[in-house]
Amino acid sequence: MREISSKSFPHLWLSEGFATYLTHIYLESKYGTDSLNKRMQNDRDEIIAFAKESNRPIVDSVSPLMKLLNTNSYQKGGWILHMLRRQLGDTIFHSIIRRYYTAYAGKNADTRDFERICESESGKDLHVFFDQWLYSPGLPKLDVQWKYDEQNKRVLLTVHQTQHKLFVFPLEIEIWTGGTGTTKAQIPSVNVQDLQVSFPVTAKPLQIILDPNTCLLFEGSARMIK
């Protein structure tokens, strides 16, 4: 297969992020989804550590250009593809990859070229997704507080984004009530600084786990309040 080159160095993630994630997909086909999730969790830890040292976006004009050979271009670039896959589904994601390589094999492409193909194949407006994850620095930092409403048998959550720039993203949670009592729930869009939601439960939760299926690049955890 002929390679695709980025039109300019700031779009290096189109080479290195793709190589990182497509390697993960290959290993997933051999060793399963659990192995993929572990690798994505390891990459997420590296991205969080890098973000504490360098508040730069993936598509970056930093000088000298060799500084772009960093965690943003590799691991974070791979995570962008992973989130696209999880949000759009495997069928559409693989269609995007095939269309992208068909259109640009042996040619040059930039991030907006890839964005247009993603939108065409998915039928969705992905401008916010690309702008926040690729053209803006950082990642969501979440402080999720929850409490149990015994009278109505519901768990009440407040999802608080603590970082300066707000992100928009779906968030899955796992509610554990002991033993095999586990319920997964989806928040379709966290799009404000403080989002309050509630879910029905059969018993008082013992723990709430954020992103149990490793679909979101974020930092944070959930804690119970009285």
| CA–CA separation, 165 and 135 (whole Å) | 12
Distance of CA 188 to the CA centre of its chain: 14
Predicted pLDDT at 3: 65
65 three-class SS: helix
C-alpha torsion 137→139→145→148, nearest 10: 140
pLDDT of the residue at 62: 78
- Predicted local confidence at residue 2, as pLDDT: 61
Pairing of strands 154-161, 169-176: unpaired
Can you give the pLDDT at residue 5?
64
Residue the block writes with tokens 């009592």: 181
Q: Are 15 and 100 in contact (CB under 8 A)?
A: no
Domains within the chain, CATH numbers bracketed? 5-134 (1.10.390.10), 141-224 (2.60.40.1840)
CB neighbourhood size of 187 (10 A) = 16
Rg (CA), the chain: 19
Residue 226 pLDDT: 85
Closest by CA to 196, choosing from 121, 149, 151, 144, is: 144
Q: What is the mean pLDDT of each run of 10 residues along the chain (226 residues)?
A: 71 96 98 98 98 94 81 97 98 97 92 98 98 97 97 97 97 92 94 97 95 98 95
